[in-house]
Amino acid sequence: MEKQLVLRKMGIEDLHQDSKNWISHLHFMADEIIFFDHLLNSYVFEPDTPSLFEDLQKYQRRLKESKKLCSRVIGDILEHENKLGGLVEILNSTLDQAYQTKHQQFRVEVEDCLNDFRRLKSDLFSYASGILKKRHRKK
């Protein structure tokens, strides 16, 4: 299902602030991905059953996909932000509709990226919790 873009006229400062916030959230997400990657590759989460091993591989793949997506979106937003700088010089206070539309598309893309990662984190917490509980019962 494709999301409907809600176009609202935004000033240059609003667009710049959005971009800064998105990049900040995505950099934090990238740090979390590194943490989860290290965690999943630690000895604590060595699976002792085939199904847990398959789950581990699935989560490692999803993390890798999230990392690639996050990197791409950050790059795209940085490029978008650079274009904003050029528009400031050309247009001063008004922005063309195409830039405004692209900005709103980035808003949707960033929200989707962050929401997908939140779901992945929730799944990872459930997976980790199950392994830790299982190990605790063995002691």
The answer to whether 106 and 22 are in contact (CB under 8 A) is yes
Please state, in angstroms and rounded to a whole number, the distance separating the CA atoms of residues 139 and 131: 13
Going along the chain, which residue ranges are E strands? none
CA distance linking residue 55 with residue 90, whole number of Å: 52
The tens-digit pLDDT sequence of the chain (139 residues) is: 455 555 456 777 888 899 999 999 999 999 999 999 998 888 777 767 777 788 889 999 999 999 999 999 999 999 988 887 776 656 544 567 788 889 999 999 999 999 999 999 999 999 888 877 776 666 5
